[in-house]
A and B are shown apart, each in its own frame.
Chain A
Amino acid sequence: SQTIHQWPATLVQPVGSPLSLECTVEGTSNPNLYWYRQAAGRGLQLLFYSVGIGQISSEVPQNLSASRPQDRQFILSSKKLLLSDSGFYLCAWSKAFAGYTFGSGTRLTVV
């Protein structure tokens, strides 16, 4: 069966520090991968999606970036975090028309 792992679960980082969130999928190949952000009490904002290794599409211009170094690995990064980067980050994968399967999320607080 397919599983998705996302870590860390919680992260507190100072302003200006770098960020690396990782997401891996098991049990499938060539999935579509997504990074979403959710502000407190708000909806979901698509940040990046990828349909293959090295293929990244950005939906929202910001100081975040994403990479897909391997088929089932998706990384969200930043060189210098801003206070506005605080939020809940969700990784998801999809294949065909079954819908998204989400990771357990990372709660990021920038202080």
Chain B
Amino acid sequence: AQTVTQSQPEMSVQEAETVTLSCTYDTSESNYYLFWYKQPPSRQMILVIRQEAYKQQNATENRFSVNFQKAAKSFSLKISDSQLGDTAMYFCAFMKGNYGQNFVFGPGTRLSVLP
């Protein structure tokens, strides 16, 4: 079975600085997808970024980028130029490469952006 670990329960960062959230996963699959979701205080789950395991290039979405290390089974999220609106819970998630499979979510990291 797949597992997703987020070793940082809480983190904080000053506004405009950069922060990296870590995520590791365990799987024997070769075809899979990885995601980062953001859950602000409103509790709406919002997709931040998505990475296909077969792609070596790291995904980037504006200020959000990932460092995907497939051999190390690591998938960290870097937030550049942190903004107050980035304050949220961040969940790393794994999905096997078979249509219809369920996600495996990590326990989450609570990020606070400080003014």
Show the binding face of A for B, using Cβ within 8 Å: 32, 34, 38, 42-44, 46, 49, 51, 59, 88, 90, 92, 96-102, 104-105, 107
A-B contacts besides A43-B108, A99-B95, A104-B43, 14 pairs, CB < 8 Å: A34-B102, A43-B107, A97-B33, A97-B52, A97-B95, A97-B99, A98-B50, A99-B33, A100-B37, A100-B45, A100-B103, A102-B44, A102-B45, A105-B45
In the complex, B47 has a CB within 8 A of chain A:
yes
Q: Which of A46, A96, A99, A107 has the most CB of B within 10 A?
A: A99
Q: List 29 A-B contacts (CB under 8 A).
A: A32-B100, A42-B107, A43-B91, A43-B106, A46-B103, A51-B100, A59-B102, A88-B43, A90-B45, A97-B97, A97-B99, A99-B47, A99-B50, A99-B93, A99-B95, A100-B35, A100-B37, A100-B47, A100-B93, A101-B47, A102-B37, A102-B46, A104-B42, A104-B43, A104-B44, A105-B43, A105-B44, A105-B45, A107-B43
- Tell me the complex Cα distance, A43–B90, Å: 10
Which residues of B line the A interface, CB within 8 A? 33, 35, 37, 42-47, 50, 52, 91, 93, 95, 97, 99-100, 102-103, 105-108
Dominant secondary structure of chain A at its interface with chain B: strand
**CB-CB < 8 A to A101: which residues of B?**
47
The minimal Cβ–Cβ distance linking A89 to chain B, given in whole angstroms, is 10
Q: What separation, in Å, do the CA atoms of A34 and B100 have in the docked complex? A: 11
